[in-house]
């Protein structure tokens, strides 16, 4: 959904979860990928074959 350009708010509405849940999930994902930005997280996820 991030790749489609949705904001945290848009993702939370689409998934039916709180915005806090979306932000926590994104922070955890960035930590796992050792990424400093969302863009860097996306490129690293692609490199790893996650998406």
Any idea where the domains of the chain sit in the sequence? 8-47
User: How confident is the model at residue 15, as a pLDDT?
Assistant: 96
pLDDT for 8-47, tens place per residue? Answer: 999 999 999 999 999 999 999 999 999 999 889 989 988 9
pLDDT for 6-19, tens place per residue? Answer: 999 999 999 999 99
User: How confident is the model at residue 42, as a pLDDT?
Assistant: 87
pTM of the model: 0.78
Cα angle vertex 42, ends 36, 47, to 5°? 105
């Amino acid at each position: 959904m991030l790749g489609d350009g949705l904001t945290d708010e848009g993702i939370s509405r689409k998934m039916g979860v709180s915005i806090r849940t979306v932000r926590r999930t994104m922070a955890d994902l960035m930590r796992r990928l050792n990424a400093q930005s969302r863009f860097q997280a996306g490129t690293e996820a692609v490199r790893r074959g996650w998406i």
